A and B are shown apart, each in its own frame.
Chain A
C-alpha cells in the first residue's frame, strides 16, 4: 500500500509508520479533525478474502475522503488509524475465521488525515458453505461508547 500523501492532508498533522499483519508498512499522516457519521447513514463495503475492497457504497466513499476508483482494489486497511491497536483487528480476523460475525468500535483514518468513529459489524459472505469474502457495515456510535473504546484502546496500544 502506498504511503499517504502530505499534499492531501488538511490541518496540523502527526506522522507514524504502521506495520500490518503481513509485515508491509505504510507512512500515515493524521490530524485531530473529526468527521462524525451523519445520523441514519450506513457505511457499506465488501472485500475479498485478502481484504481488498470490492464494493463501496456512497456513504463509504464520502466518509473516507477517497474516490471510488481509489477504494476499489485497495486493502481495507487503507482506513487503519494509528491509534487503533493491532489487538482489535486480531480479534476481528480470528472471529471471521470461525465464520462468525464481529462487532467493534473502530476509529477510521480519512484520506485527508481526519478521522471518524464507527460501530462496525463484519460478516463472512458464506455461499454453499464456503466463505467468498466479507461484508462490513458501519454506523454512528454513541459518544459514551466511543469514550469507553478510546480508554480501552489506550491500554492496548
Chain B
C-alpha cells in the first residue's frame, strides 16, 4: 500500500529539504512506500484531509482537533522540548513598547497560520483590540509580514516564535518584539491516520531511536529537531481541550 505524508504548511522553509530526507528515512525504516505531499496553504491541506487523502501528518495543533476527534488520527510523537509559541512584533522604530499602548485602528500583518493568529489575537485582548476594531492583511510568508512592519504598511505583525528567531539578523534588527506567548502546552505533533495507525508502535520505536545512529541524527538535524517524544492519546486530548478553551 502507498501512503501519503504531509507537513503543516507553517514549517520553516529552511527545513524543506529536511522533510524530504525524513520521508526517505521513514520509507526505508518501515519498508513502505510513502509519498510526501506539501501544500502551499492550510486550506488546500484541509481539503486533502477532508477527502481522506492523508495518512500521516506533522500537524499544527489547531488542526489536531479535527484530525483526532473527527478523522480518527492517533498521536505518535512530538519534538522534545519544543512548544509552539507566538510573537507580536512592531517596527524597531515604533514608539510602542507595550500591548496596552496599542490603539483601535491597528493594522495587523499575519500569515494564514491558525494557531499563531489565535494566540496573537488573545495577546491583543488586554488592549481591547479584536477583529471589530483592527484591520488585518494576510501574507504568504513571515518574511513578507516582517517587510510590512519595516515599510510601515502594518503596525504589528504576528509570528511563529521559531520563525521570528530564524529571520535574518538584518531583518530582526529592524523589528522589535512586543510580547511573546508563554504557553508551553501547545505543539505540533506527528499523527497517524486510520490506514497506517496499526504501525504507530513501529513508527514510534524508529523515531525514538533516531538520535542513536548517525543517519537518524543527521535527519533530525535537517528538521531542526533534537529528539522525538512519545505522545499518548490523553496528552493530545488535553492539548485539544486547551485549544478549544482559546477559541472564542
Q: Name A residues whose Cβ lies closer than 8 Å to a Cβ of B.
A: 38-42, 44, 46, 57-59, 101, 103, 119, 121-123, 125, 127, 135-137, 139-145
Contact = CB atoms under 8 A, between A and B. Distances in A.
Interface string B184-202: 1100000000000000000
Interface string B218-248: 0000000000000000000110011011101
A127 B237 contact: yes
Contact of B237 (A57, A125, A141): A125
A101 B122 contact: no
Contacts of B244: 101, 123
B242 A142 contact: no
16 contacts: A38-B182, A39-B179, A40-B123, A42-B185, A42-B242, A44-B185, A57-B185, A59-B182, A101-B245, A122-B245, A125-B241, A140-B126, A141-B126, A143-B100, A144-B128, A145-B128
Interface in B102-133: 122-123, 125-128
Contacts of B99: 39
Contacts of B242: 42, 44, 135, 137
B184 A39 contact: no
| Size class of the B contact interface (CB-based, 8 Å) | 20 to 34
Contact of A41 (B128, B182, B238, B248): B182
Contacts of A139: 122, 125
SS of B interface (majority): helix
Given A40-B182, A44-B242, A123-B241, 8 more contacts: A39-B126, A40-B179, A46-B238, A119-B125, A121-B246, A137-B245, A141-B126, A142-B128
A115 B245 CA distance: 23
B141 interface: no
Contacts, number: 61
B180 interface: yes
Name which of A38, A39, A46, A141 has the most chain B CB atoms within 10 A of its CB. A39
Contacts of A137: 242, 245-246
Nearest to A145: B128
Given A46-B238, A58-B184, A145-B128, A39 B245 contact: no
A145 B130 CA distance: 13
A40 B128 contact: no
A84 B232 CA distance: 38
A132 to B, nearest CB: 9
Contacts of A44: 185, 242
B235 to A, nearest CB: 11
Interface string B141-157: 00000000000000000
B164 to A, nearest CB: 13
